[in-house]
Amino acid sequence: MKLCRFEPLELAAKRPGRTAREVHDESRAGILEDSLIREISGEPWGDRRPTGRQWRLDEVRLLPPSWPTKIVCVGKNYPAHNREMDSETPKEPVIFSKPPSSIIAPGDTIILPRISKRVDHEGELGVVIGRRFARPRPGENLRPFIAGYTCLNDVTARDLQRIDVQYTRSKGFDTFCPFGPVLETEAPPPETTVETFVNGQQRQSGRLADMIFSVDFVLRWIAEAMTLEPGDLIATGTPSGVGPLNPGDVVEVRISGIGTLRNPVAAPRD
């Protein structure tokens, strides 16, 4: 099942100038079937009661599927990516965070920051939490705690990442966390591909089976340290092939069985 959050275009036209958070707070949830959205009440991970309203895709703007309290990311989770970055394979997951202020919707513009000379794409599988949980018991089934799976671009100022000890600045700029356009409730199989395209040319390609630490292992690792709340977002790592983004580019993250996240790229704002 594919779930989404959206706002009707007629509402967007009447209320310009709202912040991304304000748009989310006024958005609606739905179940996407082909090109039709069946509106449901509440959050996508709730009881999904139909409202009786339906929307065509050309009548709405798709939004990030959740507004997380935190975005927890896993680094160095694909061996080939570690090799291209001249980095050793970690013995335990390497985690860092991005601020919610970095979130943008599918179709929104990634703005390159003035203080960076090299900004890279990093296509990834995102996991959205559906139920509050922490410190899971050994062997406990985590599937009931997952709302769904989505596409994510962990946009990174690579030159700043190399300068800083921490990743916070290089990965935390406004517009550096596009994700969506849908939540797929079915767990992706190991052969699922994660690909990134820039202007139609493939840059990245990997399979979930290539991960050093599985989604289940990563969730347990993170939840042992912090409580995960409904809507929280976990980025599971990027395959090899990361590369620069330039003004005028269009970057796409495609995950088989889930969908395509597409965002244009623009020069720094004055």
Claim to verify: residue 163 and residue 257 sit in the same structural domain: yes
**Mean pLDDT per 10-residue segment, the chain (270 residues):** 96 83 91 96 92 96 97 95 89 96 97 97 98 94 97 97 92 98 98 98 97 97 97 98 98 98 94
Claim to verify: residue 92 and residue 116 sit in the same structural domain: yes
Claim to verify: residue 137 and residue 46 sit in the same structural domain: no
Claim to verify: residue 145 and residue 179 sit in the same structural domain: yes
What is the residue range of 49's domain? Answer: 2-63
The CATH number for 16's domain is: 2.30.30.370
C-alpha torsion sign, points 258, 259, 265, 269: negative
Using CA atoms, how far apart are residues 102 and 153, in angstroms rounded to an integer?
11
Claim to verify: residue 90 and residue 123 sit in the same structural domain: yes
Tell me the pTM: 0.96
* Contact of 99 with 106, CB cutoff 8 Å: no
**pLDDT tens digits, one per residue of 141-193:** 999 999 999 999 999 999 999 999 889 999 999 999 999 999 999 999 999 99
Q: What percent of the chain has a predicted confidence (pLDDT) above 90?
A: 88
The pLDDT assigned to 88 comes to: 87
Total domains present in the chain: 2
The pLDDT assigned to 142 comes to: 96
Cα angle vertex 112, ends 164, 193, to 5°? Answer: 85
